[in-house]
Structure 1
Amino acid sequence: MSAPGRIAVVGAGLAAVSLCDALRDQGYDGRLALYSAERGLPYDRPPLSKDVLLGKARREDVLLRPEQWYADQNVELHDAAFVRAIRPHDGGVELADGRTSTADRIVLATGGTPRTLPVPGGDDPAVHLLRTWEDAERLRVQLLPGARVAVIGAGLIGAETAAVAVALGCRVTLIDPVPVPLAAVVGEEIAGSLHARHSAEGINVRTAGVERIERRPGRREVLVHLSGQSGAVAADTVVAGIGIRPATELAEAAGLTVDNGIVVQAGQRTSHPNVIAVGDVARQDGHRVRHEHWDAAQRDGETAALAILGRPERAPTATWFWSDRHGSRLEAIGTMTDAERTVIRGAPHDGAFTVFGLRGDRLVATAAIDRPRDIKAARRLIDRAIPVDPAQLADENADLRKLLKG
């Protein structure tokens, strides 16, 4: 199968840039155009809720690639170029400013947009979302010592933002209706330890939903009214971290199959042979969820590049993600809901420990706090489907690397 002469990539996040990098690395020498709706060079998003909010990282510090890379790799970067439509049958790409171009293959890497609070007052100016560099800059200047900050949603983004805010001296309230957020993904033990850390660091944790946000007349503050009899939280700034919605508008208008994301088959192929989808916007057919993680986005780009060039796919690997908060790092591989039983390595009361999830004699998931060596070994055990002895997993004196030999 011959390689397409021109490829148009819509979106400029990690999945898109990884795709371009992998295509050139595999020897692709055709035209490669990257369309970014944002102005400036593409950047990495995970630092936004960490070092960028802390004021430790500038825009140039979080770039996915330096400016010279685009010239060296002959990647045509079109920034501030919002794509309003694609025409898969003839490869048309239409920009909002009226310009059009054509491509033999179109890659949708449109990512997602933050979910807004679906309650009265959810659009109040005091409510911030966190997805772009501009979002982070607007929020950063509000995180002053003594500021009252209400963070709604205790998932990855919400928890990281709350941890940064309290480190900056803010008075933080973290609100989530789920008693132990992330338990389904990393297990009750790890999730419970992480969530308890918020209170230990001085964050006011409230287990409740949000009914409405009220702007008090003549006052700078807003009131976040909680569900039931939970009362209200006064805040100067509110952060909504309740997940993202996949940006499927282009795909839907083009008639592609969409169901909680653009549905893709092997090689990230969509329901139209001329269109590929990668990153947060894509969902593998037969899988319940989309993987909205850095590692998954990078691998999507690499997988799609091989498929476009007609090269064999690499063996799949277990999903992996991380989260930094309160000076500790969570790492997780796979999903604990796939496990039949769990085994703990280390002492949970010490704060740094590992939980292994097993199905039969195979490891299917692992989560750990500040134990990178365990994670590294566990990922290889999962990818190779090596039988394991639960007693050895639990034994701190047992070298996990020896289990890799089977």
Structure 2
Amino acid sequence: MTERVVIVGGGIAGISTASALRSGGFEGDLTLVDAGEFPYDRPPLSKDYLAGNMPLEQIALQPPSWYDDQRVRLVNRTTVTALRPGEGKLELSDGGVLSADRVVLATGASAARPPIPGADSDRVHVLRTAEDADRLRTALVPGARILVVGAGLIGAETASTAVGLGCEVTLVDPAAAPLTTVLGGQLAEWVHALHTQRGITVLQTVVQSFTGLGVTGIRAQLADGEAARTYDAVLLGVGMVPHTTLAEQAGLAVDQGIVVDAGQVTSNPAVLAVGDPARLRGTDGTLLGRAEHWEAAQTDGVRAAATLLGKQLPADAAPWFWTDRHGRHIEGVGHMSDASLTVVRGLFDDPSFAVFGLREGRVVAAAAVDDPTAVRAARRMIDRRIPIEPNRLADPAINLRTLLRS
């Protein structure tokens, strides 16, 4: 019987695990170990928090009273240095030891720093923690020359924040239109073009090296054949590296992530893993890619709690994500790369519009700009496998609820 659970890591995956355990009826001892003062949400770090519009307390994942109300012992400003699952023990950085029947690893990830010469300069930033955002914010002053490397979610959102603060921003990425897999080619190009419309210099290339110039800035040599350019600061937004060291040291199966089954259980049944470091092994033995989005981490926590409670696992749902940039809210569900036909609902110049991806008469993906209702409807269509007529889906005069009932 599981009477003591320790969750290692206080991101959305760890907090979701704790919340789902209590709401599911777990009455045992529940401890959450977090390196920070309190667990906080990460998406605002590239937007409102980075811009200085929101204090850290406002992005806390739970208010301070929640931990007492839910009887969750928060061990903060502390890390786990070793797992001893065979003994049911965890060693802490302050010298303490915790006992647990089951452990949930929600250890998260670090921002990647590719081996670019000169990338260890103090002027080259990453953005994964509040401390990272605090350091970067000091460079985002009006007129500052900022180079953002990588036009994925973190890079694009930071570029948007920086130009909004009055910086002179250059954004580089090797892809002509990042996010094509999830948004589709046409919408991905439209979204990427927002940067140019807002005055950002967009270059399709990669960085070859950085050279520090002391107090005058940092020089970046790009692979576009042009002379090196000088900037005041650089942000690397080129992905993340999962935290797997604890799992490796404990002898768990690790392969570019902590290997788990559908119930989030690792190769040791006493240990589960959720969120960014977890990598699912399919029923056929194939290792799938790690899901690195907010909702995926939240869902992992719900599944882990179900496993610990001995309950049925929740049904799989189509993956969903969102991003905010230049005053536009973009959401996507599923993968447009799975579609054989795309249908646009509305016009790209409209205040809001959506693109649906279909295959064999059913919606398999959708993305929308300033229209979250369309994405919610699309998700139901995907999960319920509802047959849809493309011409009706494209007609904004037809309410999507009507199509859900068809």
TM-score band, normalised by the shorter chain? over 0.9
2:33 is aligned to 35
Displacement after TM superposition at 1:255 (Å): 1.7
Kindly provide the amino acid, as one letter, of the partner of residue 275 in structure 1. Answer: V
Q: Structure 1 stretches of 5 or more lacking a match?
A: none
Structure-1 separation of matches of 2:180 and 2:228: 26
Map of 1:31-180 to 2, 5 A cutoff? 31-38=29-36, 40-180=37-177
Structure 2 counterpart SS, 1:172: strand
Task: State the Cα deviation string for residues 158-189 of structure 1 (Å, max 9, x = none).
Answer: 00000000001000000111111111221111
Structure-1 separation of matches of 2:351 and 2:88: 53
Map of 1:336-351 to 2, 5 A cutoff? 336-350=336-350
Structure-1 separation of matches of 2:314 and 2:267: 22
Task: State the Cα deviation string for residues 201-249 of structure 1 (Å, max 9, x = none).
Answer: 0000011111000112x54211111014143221101111101111111
Displacement after TM superposition at 1:97 (Å): 2.9
Q: Structure 2 stretches of 5 or more lacking a match?
A: none
Root-mean-square deviation over aligned CA pairs: 1.3
Displacement after TM superposition at 1:146 (Å): 0.4
Structure-1 separation of matches of 2:224 and 2:199: 24
Q: Which moved more, 1:203-212 or 1:366-375?
A: 366-375
Structure-1 separation of matches of 2:385 and 2:244: 35
Q: Identify the match of residue 264 of structure 1 among 260, 264, 272.
A: 260
Structure-2 separation of matches of 1:111 and 1:311: 25
1:316 is aligned to 316
Structure-2 separation of matches of 1:252 and 1:292: 20
Structure-2 separation of matches of 1:233 and 1:250: 41
1:291 is aligned to 291
Displacement after TM superposition at 1:25 (Å): 0.9
TM-score (norm: length of structure 2):
0.96
Contact 2:46–2:154 at 8 Å: present in 1 too?
yes
Structure-1 separation of matches of 2:190 and 2:386: 29
Kindly provide the amino acid, as one letter, of the partner of residue 339 in structure 1. Answer: A
1:397 aligns with 2:393: no
1:300 aligns with 2:296: no
Structure-1 separation of matches of 2:29 and 2:216: 52
Identity of counterpart residues, as a percentage?
A: 50
Q: Which moved more, 1:282-291 or 1:196-205?
A: 282-291
Contact 1:267–1:303 at 8 Å: present in 2 too?
yes
TM-score (norm: length of structure 1):
0.96
Moved >4 Å (runs of 4+): none
Displacement after TM superposition at 1:37 (Å): 1.8
Structure-1 separation of matches of 2:176 and 2:233: 23
Structure-2 separation of matches of 1:226 and 1:389: 47
Displacement after TM superposition at 1:305 (Å): 0.6
2:247 is aligned to 251
1:239 aligns with 2:235: yes
Contact 1:177–1:207 at 8 Å: present in 2 too?
yes
1:192 aligns with 2:189: yes
Structure 2 counterpart SS, 1:142: coil
Structure 1 counterpart SS, 2:276: helix
2:274 is aligned to 278
The number of aligned residues is: 402
1:12 is aligned to 10
CA spacing shift, 1:232–1:353, aligned 2, 3 Å:
farther
